Amino acid sequence: MKWIKKSYLIFIFLFGIYSTSQGQNQTALLKADSLFSQENYQLAAIEYERFLYFASDQAQMPEILYKKAQCYKQLSEFNKACKALERIRLYDVDQNRYIQIKKELSLCYYLDNQIQKAQIQISQLRHKLKNQILPKETLLVEIFILNELKKWDEAEDLAREYINTNEVGNKILALQKIDSLYSKKNLPKLKSIEKAENLSRFIPGSGQMYCGKVLEGSFTFLFNGAFLALGIQQILTKFYFTGYAAGFGVLHKTYTGNMARTKHLAIKVNHQRHTRFNESIINYLLSL
Amino acid sequence: MKKIIIASLFCLLSLNLLAQYSQKQRFEFIYHLIKSNDFDEALIELDFLNGKTQSDSLYYMKGWALYSLKQLSSSAESFQNVRKESIFYHKSQFFAAYNYAHTKNYTSAKQVLQQIELDNKLDQLRQFEYSGIALLERDFDGYENKRIKSDAILPALQTEVANLDKLHSTIVNRKPKKMWLAGLMSAIVPGSGKIYAGKTGEGIASMLMVTSTGLVTWENHRKLGLKNFKTILFGSIFTVFYVGNIYGSVFSVKISNEEFNHEMDQKILFNIHIPLRNIFN
């Protein structure tokens, strides 16, 4: 009887300690959820991490890490959000949770400008889902990625798939809009950097004009022409040093500067046009 | 009676359900955050404990988090608060001195080193850090006094002691370039001052530029006379290039000296940092 009482006492004591730590941890989780609902994401992320650190049971780990990632996503710290999501052991989770995690990972990688990693996440999700359709958000991310990579045809196909498989107000109108957005006429007319450089190599200023900067191109042409003329004129009048140094010497500088400027301009114009086009697609698809 | 005791024990434990984490648990968690490179989060947690405890762990961890975030002055201040009873005392004080040295606050760095209470083994490390700081200050006599001359050098210091000696020789053997000499050289032979300063490419380019404008001016002067517009124009351009090149040469020497000193400082700091990481980590 004495031993039984002792055993009871030990059990009660240990259970008390266990329940204390469990309760303490559950309090941290409640606090974290409360901070999250109050939009205090930084502190919420810390509380979620605290819960994970003190938790004896790892069953809630995927859910908590997912919530922690949400906190960092709200703080626009996408790299930290990715790190939190990467910690989730995917073999422990069911299919729905797997889809949810991969969806978030692809989005966070995309927002963190890690396009290749975002693509890998989508490929893995496609492999897991086999013949099923990707979640709406992931499909959108994939369209945006393909646009970034200038794969317009594939992006258009996916945009059509997105409209057909999701609830969209007027599907016919939306499909027509996609047709017009991805029409050859509307696609960003990207300038060939090589062509722009070659044009400026033979006719200074023509590369700038090709990139749409007519005034700048005309000025460059006149400027280079003036120094060439000065060089020739000075040599013809037997001012050899003046012709060589003041004419051709300065021409050499303006000519090489013009080539570098043309390349920079072509890159800048392409970036602007590409971004403008991508933004129009993003804005339209998000408005659906 | 026993039943009452058991029941009250259970109630007491149950009341703790909503209890806060203990300080020990909080420190364990902060240590985990630091280990996971979540320094900003660790600092938030440390700020929560600030004022609630005077624990050495608090100052050590805060110092470490700030050091990892490259906030070296604040880190040094925090490290200095660690008391000698703490197991982190030596590490904190040495890192405080290093942080001060890195921020060019050599006086504070030396003060911190002087105040550390330590055994013979770490005394050699202190001497080594002193010698590094002396070299950073370009106090060569101080370096000679402080440098480790003993044969029994700690294994963790051997390579770095040799490296500091090499750096000392490099600094001592380098004749600092003279600004006036570079200016004079460029006045006589345009561009030669920049070559003297170690900027050979810039020197040749300047030489070509000044020479060509000089030749153009000479040609116009010879054919059109001194008062002609073209001679005055090219003469003015030549003067601007010529004077500008002299000024540029003087400035190049200044930049060259600063670059050399910066490179040496970085190497010294690297060498006095390595033993700290090896010994204390």
The pLDDT score that the predictor gives to residue B55 is 84
Choose one of B44, B66, B89: the last residue of a domain. Answer: B89
Distance from CA of B94 to the nearest CA of A (A): 31
Look over chain B and give the mean of its residue pLDDT values, rounded to a whole number: 89
Q: Examine the pLDDT at B19 and tell me if it is beyond 80.
A: no
For residue B213, the chain A residues in CB contact (below 8 A) are 245
Of the candidates B44, B213, B220, the beta carbon closest to that of A42 is on B44
B138 in Cβ contact with B171 (< 8 Å): yes
Question: In the prediction, which pLDDT does B7 show?
Answer: 57
Kindly report the length of chain B. Answer: 281
Query: Look-up: residue for tokens 């009452």?
Result: B4
Contacts for A20 with CB less than 8 Å, ≥ 6 apart: B13, B16, B17, B19
Residue of A nearest to B32 (CA): A53
pLDDT (tens digit, 9 = 90+) per residue, A13-64?
555 555 555 566 778 788 899 999 999 999 999 999 999 998 877 788 899 9
Residues of B in contact with A245 (CB under 8 A): 212-213, 215-216
Instruction: Return the exposure string of A12-23: e unless at least 16 CB atoms fall within 10 Å of the residue's CB, then b.
Output: eeeebeeebbeb
At residue B8, the pLDDT reads: 58
Q: A50: which chain B residues are within 8 Å (Cβ-Cβ)? A: 21, 29
Distance of CA A60 to the CA centre of its chain: 30
Instruction: Inspect the interface and report whether the beta carbons of B230 and A242 lie closer than 8 Å.
Output: yes
Exposed (0-12), middle (13-18) or buried (19+): which is A127, by Cβ within 10 Å?
A: exposed
Q: Among B9, B21, B216, select the one facing A241 at the smallest CB separation.
A: B216
pLDDT-derived band at B9 (thresholds 50, 70, 90) equals low
pLDDT beyond 80 at B16: no
Confidence of residue A91 (pLDDT cuts 50, 70, 90): confident
pLDDT of residue A7: 66
> In angstroms, rounded to a whole number, what is the distance separating the alpha carbons of residues B152 and B27?
39
Q: What is the pLDDT of residue A133?
A: 83
Nearest in space to B220 (alpha carbons), one of A147, A239, A134 = A239
Q: What is the pLDDT of residue B38?
A: 93
Q: Residues in chain A whose beta carbon is closer than 8 A to a beta carbon of chain B? A: 5, 8-9, 12-13, 16-17, 19-20, 23-24, 27-28, 42-43, 45-46, 49-50, 53-54, 238-242, 244-246, 249
Domain hosting residue B62, numbered range: 22-89
Least CA distance to B18: which residue of chain A? A24
Q: Which residues of A touch B16 (CB under 8 A)?
A: 20, 23-24
Contact B38 A49 (CB under 8 A): yes
What pLDDT score was predicted for residue B15?
47
What mean pLDDT value characterizes chain A?
Answer: 89
Task: Write down the pLDDT at residue A103.
Answer: 93
Cβ contact, residue pair B13, A242, below 8 Å: no
Give the B window 205-244 contacts with A, CB below 8 Å.
Answer: 212-213, 215-216, 218-220, 223, 230, 234
Mutate to test the interface with B, among A242, A250, A251 (most CBs of B within 10 A): A242
Indicate the SS3 state at residue B53.
Answer: strand
Torsion angles phi and psi, residue B82, rounded to 5? -70, 125
CB contact under 8 A, A12 and B6: yes
Q: Which residue of A has its CA nearest to B224?
A: A239
The residue-averaged pLDDT of B123-138 equals: 93
Nearest residue, CB atoms, B13 vs list A9, A16, A28: A16
Predicted confidence (pLDDT) per residue in B73-122, tens digit: 999 999 999 998 899 999 999 999 999 999 999 999 999 999 988 777 78
Helices and strands (H and E) in chain B: how many: 14, 0
Percent of chain B residues past pLDDT 70, beyond the cut: 93
Does the residue B3 lie in any domain?
no
Q: Which of the listed residues B38, B67, B89 is the one where a domain comes to its end?
A: B89
Does the structural domain A18-154 have CATH classification 3.40.190.10?
A: no
The CA distances from residue A170 to A133, A177, A186, A288, B57, in Å, are 21, 11, 22, 9, 63
Size of interface A-B (CB pairs under 8 A): 76
In this model, does residue A204 exceed pLDDT 60? yes
Between A279 and A92, where is the model more confident?
Answer: A279
Q: Is B233 exposed, middle or buried (0-12, 13-18, 19+ CB in 10 A)?
A: middle
pLDDT digits (tens, 9 = 90+) for B215-257: 999 999 999 998 899 999 999 999 999 999 999 999 999 999 9
Residue B53 to residue A14: CA distance in whole angstroms: 30
- Residue A263 tokens read as 């390349």
**Phi and psi (nearest 5°) for B53?**
-150, 155
Q: What pLDDT does A12 receive? A: 55
Contact B29 A241 (CB under 8 A): no
Distance CA B87, CA B97 (A): 17
| pTM summary value | 0.77
What is the tens place of the pLDDT at every residue in B169-181?
999 998 888 999 9
- The structure tokens 């120094």 sit at A227
What pLDDT, on a 0 to 100 scale, did the predictor assign at position B139?
92
* Mean pLDDT on A165-194: 89
* Yes or no, beta carbons of B13 and A9 under 8 Å apart: no
Nearest to B156 by CA among B262, B275, B24: B275
Classified as helix, coil or strand, B50 is strand
Question: What's residue B6's pLDDT?
Answer: 59
Tell me whether B2 touches chain A (CB under 8 Å).
Answer: yes
In chain B, which residues have their Cβ closer than 8 Å to the Cβ of A53? 28-29, 32
By C-alpha distance, which of A95, A96, A72, A75 is closest to A84?
A72
Contact B16 A49 (CB under 8 A): no
Within-domain flag for B107: no
Question: Does the CA dihedral A14-A16-A19-A25 come out positive or negative?
Answer: negative
Q: Do A241 and B16 touch (CB under 8 A)?
A: no
Query: Which of A25-29, A73-77, A161-165, B8-12 has the highest mean predicted lDDT (pLDDT)?
Result: A73-77
**Considering the domain boundaries, does residue B170 fall inside one?**
no
Closest Cα in chain A to B40: A42
Domain assignment present for residue B226? The answer is yes
Q: Which amino acid is residue A203, in one-letter code? A: I
Q: Enumerate the domain spans of chain A.
A: 18-154, 193-287
Confidence at A167, pLDDT banded by 50, 70, 90: confident
Q: Indicate whether B128 belongs to any domain.
A: no
Domain count within chain B: 2
**Cβ pair B230:A45 closer than 8 A:** no
pLDDT in tens, A226-256: 999 999 999 999 999 899 988 898 899 999 9
User: B18 pLDDT band (50/70/90 cuts)?
Assistant: very low
Q: Which of B10, B28, B44 sits opposite A16 (nearest CB)?
A: B10
Q: Do B215 and A42 touch (CB under 8 A)?
A: no
Query: How far from each other are the two terminal CA atoms of chain A, in whole angstroms?
Result: 74
- Tell me which of B8, B41, B47 to substitute to probe the interface with A (most A C-beta atoms closer than 10 Å): B41
Cα–Cα dist A141/A113, whole Å: 12
* Structure confidence at residue B150 as a pLDDT band (50, 70, 90): confident
Write out pLDDT tens, residues B196-207: 999 999 999 999
Domain boundary among B47, B74, B89: B89
Given a cut of 50, whether residue B17 has pLDDT beyond it is: no
